[in-house]
Structure 1
Amino acid sequence: MSLTGKVAVITGASSGIGHATAKALAAQGATVVVTGRREDRLVALAKEVVQDGGIADTYTCDVTDEGQATAMIEDVVKRHGRVDVLVNNAGVMLLSRIERGLTDEWRQMTDVNVHGVLFPTHAVIPVMKAQGSGTIVNISSTAARRSRPLGGVYAATKAAVAALSESVRLELLKDGIGVTVIIPGAVDTELSTHITDKEAQGGIAALKQNMEFLQPEDVAAAVVYAVGQPSRVNVSELVIRPRMQEF
Structure 2
Amino acid sequence: MQLDGKNAVVYGAVGSMGSAVSRAFAAAGARVFLAGRTAATLDALADEIRAAGGRAETAVVDATVKESVDAHAAAVVERAGSLDVSFNAVAYDALQDVPLVDMSVEDFVAPVVAATTTHFLTATAAARHMVAQGSGAIVMLSSSAAREWRHRMGGFSVACASVETLVRTLAGEVGRHGVRVVGLRPNFTPETAGASDDDLPMLVTDTLLGRLPRLSEVAGTAVHLASDAAGATTGVVVDLSCGAIV
TM-score bracket for this pair, using the shorter chain length: 0.7 to 0.9
| Range 115-124 or range 225-234, more displaced | 225-234
Q: 1:224-243 CA deviation, whole Å, 9 max, x = no partner? A: 11112347422533111236
Q: 1:77-124 CA deviation, whole Å, 9 max, x = no partner? A: 222221100012213352242344355544542343111100011212
Return closer, same or farther for 1:102/1:36 CA change in 2, 3 Å cut-off.
Answer: farther
What is the DSSP-based 3-state SS (H/G/I as helix, E as strand, rest coil) of the residue aligned with 2:46?
helix
Q: 1:154-183 CA deviation, whole Å, 9 max, x = no partner? A: 000000000110011111121000111111
Residue 190 (structure 2) aligns with: 188
Residue 51 (structure 1) aligns with: 51
User: Does residue 158 of structure 2 align to residue 159 of structure 1?
Assistant: no
| Range 11-20 or range 109-118, more displaced | 109-118
Residue 226 (structure 1) aligns with: 225
User: Does residue 90 of structure 2 align to residue 86 of structure 1?
Assistant: no
| Range 212-221 or range 234-243, more displaced | 234-243
In the alignment, the residues of structure 2 paired with residue 219 and residue 232 of structure 1 have an alpha-carbon distance, to the nearest angstrom, of 18
In the alignment, the residues of structure 2 paired with residue 115 and residue 150 of structure 1 have an alpha-carbon distance, to the nearest angstrom, of 23
In the alignment, the residues of structure 1 paired with residue 218 and residue 148 of structure 2 have an alpha-carbon distance, to the nearest angstrom, of 19
In the alignment, the residues of structure 2 paired with residue 53 and residue 38 of structure 1 have an alpha-carbon distance, to the nearest angstrom, of 23
Letter in 1 for 2:163: V
Residue 15 (structure 2) aligns with: 15
8 A contact 1:6–1:84 mirrored in 2: yes
What is the DSSP-based 3-state SS (H/G/I as helix, E as strand, rest coil) of the residue aligned with 2:32?
strand
Return closer, same or farther for 1:34/1:112 CA change in 2, 3 Å cut-off.
Answer: farther
Identity %: 27
Structure 2 stretches lacking a partner, 5+ long:
none
Return closer, same or farther for 1:232/1:19 CA change in 2, 3 Å cut-off.
Answer: closer
Return closer, same or farther for 1:74/1:39 CA change in 2, 3 Å cut-off.
Answer: same
RMSD of Structure 2 on Structure 1 (CA): 2.6
User: Does residue 112 of structure 2 align to residue 110 of structure 1?
Assistant: yes
In the alignment, the residues of structure 2 paired with residue 120 and residue 39 of structure 1 have an alpha-carbon distance, to the nearest angstrom, of 19
What is the DSSP-based 3-state SS (H/G/I as helix, E as strand, rest coil) of the residue aligned with 1:186?
coil
In the alignment, the residues of structure 1 paired with residue 116 and residue 22 of structure 2 have an alpha-carbon distance, to the nearest angstrom, of 21
In the alignment, the residues of structure 1 paired with residue 160 and residue 201 of structure 2 have an alpha-carbon distance, to the nearest angstrom, of 23
Residue 214 (structure 1) aligns with: 213
Letter in 2 for 1:15: G
Return closer, same or farther for 1:189/1:102 CA change in 2, 3 Å cut-off.
Answer: farther
Letter in 1 for 2:64: T
In the alignment, the residues of structure 2 paired with residue 192 and residue 149 of structure 1 have an alpha-carbon distance, to the nearest angstrom, of 21
Letter in 2 for 1:152: G
Report the Cα offset of residue 53 of structure 1.
0.3
Output the TM-score relative to the length of structure 1. Answer: 0.85
Return closer, same or farther for 1:147/1:40 CA change in 2, 3 Å cut-off.
Answer: farther
8 A contact 1:26–1:54 mirrored in 2: yes
In the alignment, the residues of structure 1 paired with residue 18 and residue 231 of structure 2 have an alpha-carbon distance, to the nearest angstrom, of 26
What is the DSSP-based 3-state SS (H/G/I as helix, E as strand, rest coil) of the residue aligned with 2:48?
helix
What is the DSSP-based 3-state SS (H/G/I as helix, E as strand, rest coil) of the residue aligned with 2:190?
coil
| Range 183-192 or range 135-144, more displaced | 183-192
Structure 1 stretches lacking a partner, 5+ long:
194-203
